[in-house]
Structure 1
Amino acid sequence: MKLLASMLMAAALAAPAFPAFSAGETPATPTKAKPDLVKGEASFAAVCAACHGADGNSAIAANPKLSQQHPEYLVKQLQEFKSGKRNNAVMKGFASMLTDEDMKNIAYWAASKPAKPGFSSDKALVAMGERIYRGGIADRQIAACAGCHSPNGAGIPAQYPRLSGQHADYTVAQLNSFRDGSRANSIQMTQVAAKLNDREIKAVADYIAGLR
């Protein structure tokens, strides 16, 4: 009997320890920490505001408006600046100072700020830009921008960025970068931009600037 008791005790000690759950009960799924908008605002003011505006509405045409942008998209861009997947020496320097938590806080704070509308400036090109944005160019197999970025430029959260009201100069620069390969963090955009000429890029960018 003593031998049997010893064997049972040894087996119990060797058995892996699992938490006990009642019938039908499942382990709790770890919850993701919510973004801290107070910290996000502080980090944005310290790191981002000088170039992108105090509320994310950049007044500098070369720098993008970040307000009301999808936070998942902003986090992805910051991570890719930091890793070097998206090549920009200035942004790499700033992004390298941020943790993933910082990025999340900043992105959700910027997303919470309303975007100020922009304006088209070239009446001669805006009609062409609208045709390309809404319908693409079928005979050259150029897809409509609206298919991914939505007819009003709101984009699709976590997948495609908001474009509505973005500075035309910034959009032109990004399309050129996709076209020449210096920005290579989106295969879809590289393929689209490769088929656009300078006039078409300018037209689309100007239309986007006034889109709302």
Structure 2
Amino acid sequence: MKLLASMLIAAALAAPALPAFSAGETPAAPPKAAAKPDLVKGEASFTAVCAACHGADGNSAIAANPKLSQQHPEYLVKQLQEFKSGKRNDPVMKGFAMALSDEDMKNIAYWVTSKAAKPGFAKDKALVSLGERIYRGGIADRQIAACAGCHSPNGAGIPAQYPRLSGQHADYTATQLVAFRDGKRANSLQMTQVAAKLNDREIKAVADYIAGLR
């Protein structure tokens, strides 16, 4: 009997503790899993709202407008949310973003990033070697970090942290770097600090190099 009692006590102690509820209280429902993006709705919204400027599949043919295909969806959602809130200042994009819910943004982002990006090309042979040096090694004596450290050597970026740059239009990249440098774009302190140290020639060089990166 003593052995049996000891075994019952040991089993009770080993059993996992159950949450206590007062009389009439029901346990809380488990949190709902995040809804998966609806790619069908994403395509429809992208076609209606985004395609005119960014291309039917996100491969913009207009150098002033960024390529969105194969970009990290988390990055695109963040940018749309910041256009909507005004944290990233762009009157045109704010108007479009204001019409989108968070669900719309997610659907659009995941659809367009499922499309393959078309490669770009560097155009300025005189500057591309300078751009490569800055992108891969930075400028040590001015404490300018290498772009590759965050955006990866081939420009693929790091999902949810740093955007894909590979093949992006040089005109768009240069415009954004100048905007960071001049304080017109202020939604990334890190990029503001990097761009603040670059002159126009260096910005043009690294943007052109990025355009041909693959």
Per the normalisation by structure 1, the TM-score is 0.89
CA distance in 2, matches of 1:208, 1:53: 20
Question: How far does residue 30 in structure 1 lie from its aligned partner after superposition?
Answer: 1.7
Question: How far does residue 18 in structure 1 lie from its aligned partner after superposition?
Answer: 2.7
Q: Please, which of 49, 54, 57 is the counterpart of residue 56 of structure 2?
A: 54
Q: Please, which of 16, 20, 26 is the counterpart of residue 18 of structure 1?
A: 26
Which one-letter code corresponds to 1:18 in the other structure?
A: T
User: Structure 1 segments of 4 or more deviating over 6 A?
Assistant: none
Which one-letter code corresponds to 1:15 in the other structure?
A: A
1:91 is aligned to 93
CA distance in 2, matches of 1:65, 1:151: 19
Q: 1:18 to 1:191 in 2, by over 3 A?
A: same
Q: Does 1:37 align with 2:45?
A: no
Q: Does 1:122 align with 2:124?
A: yes
2:160 is aligned to 158
DSSP-derived class of the 1:202 partner:
helix
Unaligned runs of 5+ in 2: 1-21
Question: How far does residue 122 in structure 1 lie from its aligned partner after superposition?
Answer: 0.2
Kindly, what percent of the aligned residue pairs are identical? 85
Which one-letter code corresponds to 1:65 in the other structure?
A: K
Q: Please, which of 194, 204, 207 is the counterpart of residue 206 of structure 2?
A: 204
DSSP-derived class of the 2:203 partner:
helix
Question: How far does residue 16 in structure 1 lie from its aligned partner after superposition?
Answer: 5.4
2:104 is aligned to 102
CA distance in 2, matches of 1:144, 1:100: 33
2:10 is aligned to none
CA distance in 2, matches of 1:62, 1:16: 62
2:15 is aligned to none
- The alignment of Structure 1 onto Structure 2 pairs a total of residues equal to 193
Which one-letter code corresponds to 1:182 in the other structure?
A: K
DSSP-derived class of the 1:118 partner:
coil
